[in-house]
Amino acid sequence: MAATAREDGVRNLAQGPRGCEHYDRACLLKAPCCDKLYTCRLCHDTNEDHQLDRFKVKEVQCINCEKLQHAQQTCEDCSTLFGEYYCSICHLFDKDKRQYHCESCGICRIGPKEDFFHCLKCNLCLTTNLRGKHKCIENVSRQNCPICLEDIHTSRVVAHVLPCGHLLHRTCYEEMLKEGYRCPLCMHSALDMTRYWRQLDTEVAQTPMPSEYQNVTVDILCNDCNGRSTVQFHILGMKCKLCDSYNTAQAGGRRVPVDQQ
């Protein structure tokens, strides 16, 4: 629930629970841009026509004693703990989620820190199991999610790294899989499709084409390995000769043997 503010920017402290729908905290941020009090920058941005710069926040107000004071973790008057976690750079107050501030990202991330590393080329914190095992794309996190077109780098939603190196919000990735399996940017398979390709092998073998199509070939382009090959046309799918993927697209017209023309 976003903090409500009167015209002078002071919240009615008798209303609403501690914190908001975004963060668990016991203070309000004084927005340096408009001098209004909001529980968090997201609440501010939802209600105003401008954005709150988290790095410029200087003052907070305790929700218990209403003391306006410089940003800190504990109230200087009543000793209320504003947040189990506090970052003096981002001015992030929240319950402990094993957060850490990444100097390279410039913002706080949900940890634990030892489970992540910062990829300098991707310019993003990734889980340690992806170290040396992901495809790097320079500054990929500075691009918007191709599904919802919203920011990925500063989003509170976890980013999902596709095999091609592109990023999606985890929630967007899960929704995408309900409709398809390919990266919306490069059409590369977004997950390991090996098992499905083998099932498709069986279906193709059990579904012979009509006699007039049995010797028809077609040029294809593979979206997974970017290779080109000439294969037999089949209505269920055309398999790449280089990597065995069915994630292919027809790259030319069908070819019919001379004796069948």
- Domains 99-179 and 193-255 agree in fold: no
Give pLDDT tens digits for 30-73.
999 999 999 999 999 999 999 999 999 999 999 999 999 999 99
Report whether 108 belongs to an annotated binding site.
yes
DSSP letter string, 161-202: E-TTS-EEEHHHHHHHTTT-SB-TTT--BSS--HHHHHHHHH
The per-residue pLDDT for 7 is: 34
CA distances from residue 34 to 12, 20, 26, 128, 185 in whole angstroms, order as listed = 18, 20, 21, 41, 39
Report whether 125 belongs to an annotated binding site.
yes
Report whether 186 belongs to an annotated binding site.
no
Which fold is adopted by the domain 99-179?
Answer: Herpes Virus-1 (3.30.40)
Which fold is adopted by the domain 193-255?
Answer: Rubrerythrin, domain 2 (2.20.28)
Report whether 145 belongs to an annotated binding site.
no
Residue 91 CA to residue 72 CA, distance in Å, equals 8
Report whether 222 belongs to an annotated binding site.
no
Report whether 50 belongs to an annotated binding site.
yes
Give pLDDT tens digits for 161-199.
999 999 999 999 999 999 999 999 999 999 999 999 999
Report whether 65 belongs to an annotated binding site.
yes
Residue with tokens 């059409």: 187
Report whether 172 belongs to an annotated binding site.
no
Q: What residues pair up with 117 in beta bridges, in sequence order?
A: 126
The per-residue pLDDT for 53 is: 96
The per-residue pLDDT for 253 is: 67
The per-residue pLDDT for 1 is: 35
How many other CB atoms are found less than 10 A from the CB of residue 36? 21
Give pLDDT tens digits for 109-128.
999 999 999 999 999 999 99
Report whether 183 belongs to an annotated binding site.
no
CA distances from residue 207 to 229, 231, 237 in whole angstroms, order as listed = 22, 16, 11
Residue 240 CA to residue 222 CA, distance in Å, equals 6
Residue spans per domain, the chain: 27-94, 99-179, 193-255
pLDDT average, residue stretch 208-220: 90
Percentage of the chain modeled with pLDDT above 70: 90
Residue 90 CA to residue 98 CA, distance in Å, equals 15
Report whether 105 belongs to an annotated binding site.
yes
Residue 177 CA to residue 183 CA, distance in Å, equals 10
The per-residue pLDDT for 211 is: 87
Q: pLDDT band at 212, cuts 50/70/90?
A: confident
Residue 140 CA to residue 121 CA, distance in Å, equals 8
Report whether 27 belongs to an annotated binding site.
no
